């Protein structure tokens, strides 16, 4: 099943991605295939009965807030930075 172009545009907008028309068509097809695969695998990972949590969610640890690294200190350690941002190499598609 292929996603609609509008669905891909909405996903791209929420992900703050700018996609060309060619990319929109490709991702509509690819994401549709991923959705089909996920649906096919769900019975293998879903709850064994109606009382269990799917995917073992009841076994997960509780969320907790922990102290992290100060942003400024982290930027000082980074070799790839532009002003106050990290520079991230392109990993998807062509530049």
Residues 29-32: contacts with CB within 8 Å, 24+ apart? 29/2, 31/3, 32/1, 32/2, 32/3
State the pTM of this model: 0.45
Model confidence pLDDT, tens digit, residues 49-75: 555 555 555 666 788 888 888 878 878
In the predicted model, what is the mean pLDDT of residues 72-84? Answer: 78
Does position 48 have pLDDT exceeding 60, yes or no?
A: no
């Amino acid at each position: 099943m292929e996603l609609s172009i509008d669905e891909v545009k909405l996903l791209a907008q929420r992900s703050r991605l700018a996609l060309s028309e060619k990319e929109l068509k490709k991702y509509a097809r690819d994401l549709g295939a991923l959705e089909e695969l996920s649906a096919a695998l769900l019975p293998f990972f879903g709850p064994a009965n109606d009382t269990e949590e799917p995917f073992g969610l009841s076994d997960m640890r509780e969320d907790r807030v922990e102290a992290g690294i100060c942003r400024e200190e982290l930027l000082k350690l980074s070799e790839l930075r532009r002003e106050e941002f990290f520079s991230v190499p392109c990993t998807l598609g062509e530049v």
